[in-house]
A and B are shown apart, each in its own frame.
Chain A
């Protein structure tokens, strides 16, 4: 096959980036643009800044191999299926091959560690990442960032949530009283 194609992208603040096609393909949005024929020119990304783009690309680079390994093991998937059929006949839960299991476990562990480091970011970066992942339609990244944002909401009172996310309480006093009566909460 020819050498991997390089795609040129421009962020909203005018900076350009050159990235391997396989890497940007992790973004459904960019993938669709390329398939629609925009891959030869510069692809504009009006909702993504040059500050957050490298962080997004870091995620894509890590997960390109996921896509590729999925393609490779399409045979492997069928193998998995057969195994399940056998075990259901035996009437027991599937006991996977010990070797495969250990390899898989190590891979999952490594990915978890990578994710922990990757998500060790401050709040503003997290918000930028959420926006970017949403616009670029990178499901895995969006869910990971959303989970982190959700953890910032858990256990908090409405006022604490407002402080964390810098949100203005736009309920009128009457409206707020109504909402409060509806949802009076124990830890207030």
Chain B
């Protein structure tokens, strides 16, 4: 291996001059520490986050090079995380994540499982179901007495709050920076099905806000509405009708409702849409064709002021076919986005996932098979998020001992 030095011209007489001697010394030096400085940093920039952790433990020099490399090129490709829960008792069976940078699936062993499954210390009360808000990687559990949620990349920190005033089922839950909004939902006795409350993690208080627009009266649940949120704004889109409206976290008021217009090649129309934020862009994923027969999937960027829709790209036909086959007639594909990535998947079977990376405005499509076959059981329900997992997140996870990540496949 590198222990054997490469052959140096032993013939010192030939070169003779002082320059020759210095050259020999330099050659020796080059061999002893072959990889360092600029060169090492360049090599490290080609490594995904996972391998950076091992690299940082090699030597002091490598540890420094890892820091520099992360500064030069922070790994920003978000992981797609799947939590598998038991359908009836809501216990967490397993968790895994896909890292698009290394195209590797990781099994996540969770030490503090109770954070994900129970809201109270007494296990006798029914466990509230873990849900994903599909916005700003928020996971939450809502029960009559408690509202607990987590929004860091690996869901290590859980906030516990008292439940909102108005009890509802299946409300819209979204994170807007340090605030969490709960809106709509169904309830038998409540006067106002459009009630909106916002929780501030700083003051730990709930505040009642302007109710949702009347037009959403019959569809004010997370089943019918798709959410996209930034730190200051929330957008709600009716999945079937493409009615859209926005909420401003500062003024705590709703904007007017609009109907989004999408241009497609007739006769194929968009029958179902989902929105989300991919970085600063408000992106719409539009399923085209019919509920029983998916014919295409398009991506549009929605202008946040004018609501004009500009097409970004379309899923390749071969991939649409796979997506169609992966979905049963009863489940519609869903999407989760973060950074430059849009993940598309079957919410009842995450065996195959599809994704699009927005590179300089162009769509790069890919797909990946999940090697964790134990999640194929019908006894399971899945919760999906995607988040950018950084070195700090990994280090924190390791330090608390609550996460173990194992690579499942190459």
Contacts and interface: CB of A to CB of B under 8 A. Distances in A.
B35 interface: yes
B46 interface: yes
Given A13-B27, A134-B42, A147-B46, A158 B102 contact: no
B160 interface: no
A49 B30 CA distance: 10
Interface of B: 1-3, 6, 9, 15, 19-20, 23-24, 26-27, 30-31, 34-35, 38-39, 42-47, 51, 53-63, 102, 263, 265, 311, 313-314, 363, 394-395, 398-399, 401, 404-407, 410
A74 interface: no
Given A131-B39, A181-B398, 16 more contacts: A12-B27, A46-B23, A47-B26, A93-B363, A128-B34, A131-B34, A134-B39, A146-B46, A150-B51, A161-B58, A166-B34, A167-B59, A168-B59, A171-B59, A183-B53, A183-B398
Interface of A: 12-14, 46-47, 49, 51, 91-93, 123-124, 127-128, 130-131, 134, 142-143, 146-147, 149-150, 153-158, 161-171, 175-176, 179-187
Nearest to A130: B39
Contact of B35 (A49, A130, A171, A185): A130
Given A158-B57, A183-B56, A185-B398, A166 B23 contact: no
B26 A186 contact: no
Contacts of B59: 162, 167-171
A129 to B, nearest CB: 10
Contacts of A128: 6, 30, 34
B60 A154 contact: no
A157 B263 CA distance: 51
A175 B60 CA distance: 10
Contact of A13 (B9, B38, B61, B401): B9
A37 B61 CA distance: 38
Contacts of A123: 1-2
A185 B51 contact: no
Contacts of B1: 123, 163-164, 166
A184 B394 CA distance: 10
Contacts of B9: 13
Given A166-B2, A171-B60, A14 B20 contact: yes
A157 B53 CA distance: 9
A167 B35 CA distance: 9
B66 to A, nearest CB: 10
Contacts of A155: 51, 407, 410
A146 B43 contact: yes
A162 B58 contact: yes
Contacts of B63: 179
B27 A153 contact: no
A169 B26 contact: no
Contacts of A165: 2, 34-35, 58
Given A51-B6, A166-B1, A161 B55 contact: yes
A14 B39 contact: no
- Which 6 pairs show the lowest CB-CB distances between chains A and B? A150-B46, A127-B34, A166-B2, A158-B57, A186-B406, A149-B43
B284 to A, nearest CB: 14
